[in-house]
Amino acid sequence: MTYSLEAFVNDLRRLTAEGGGPKDILPEVAPLAAKLAETPGWIKPDFYEVDPEQGIGITVLHEEADHTLLVETIVWAPGKGVLPHDHQTWGCVVGLDGIERNTIWKRNDDGGAPGHADLTVYHEANVGAGQTIVFMPDDIHSVQNHGDTPTLSLHIYGKSLAHVSRSEFDPDTSVVRPCPIRKKRPAA
């Protein structure tokens, strides 16, 4: 029996209804996301369409009416990525096609100076097809496609990223600012 996107969303609903925090939910979400990544047939060619202004393309597969349980694919154009950012909700990413580089950052300051953040690289991880990485709400990471072909990944969040107050960080200038809200499209 294949594992469908609908079954995955129903499993996410069950897990979040059971309660518990990110430390309880993420160990359950990651293997389910990997299971969906291994299921053929649900990935569509339009998931690979990149918004040329952003260098990425985001396709929303599911979002609850109350803006929880966001499930989306992100395609990363060759050489493109995003600056370090947080999610302010739990998150799980599973690779679908290609390899994306996730850099995990450590914040060295206490956050007391508005607009300032001192970051250093803590860890780097390549996420390929079927591999998962999870994030706590305050984790800071950046993503880059170092390859010469687009990469595609599935992203699952406890809340819609457009409805939380996220931060974006520039480690070169030590600036922290509100994270931009990226353009998304609904799945066809």
Element (H, E) at 143: strand 140-144
**60: domain CATH number?**
2.60.120.10
Q: Mark residue 65 as left, alpha or beta (left: phi above 0; alpha: psi -120 to 50; beta: remaining).
A: alpha
In a domain, 188, yes or no: no
Q: What is the count of structural domains for the chain?
A: 1
Per-residue model confidence as pLDDT tens digits over 65-77: 999 999 999 999 9
- Tens of pLDDT, residue by residue over 28-86, are 999 999 999 999 889 999 999 999 999 999 999 999 999 999 999 999 999 999 999 99
Look at residue 77 and tell me if it is in a domain.
yes
pLDDT of residue 40: 80
pLDDT tens track for 147-164: 999 999 999 999 999 999
The model's pTM is: 0.95
Residue 45, domain extent: 5-161
Residue 51 vs residues 44, 48, 90, 130, 143: alpha-carbon distances, Å: 16, 10, 26, 24, 16
Amino acid at position 170, single letter: D
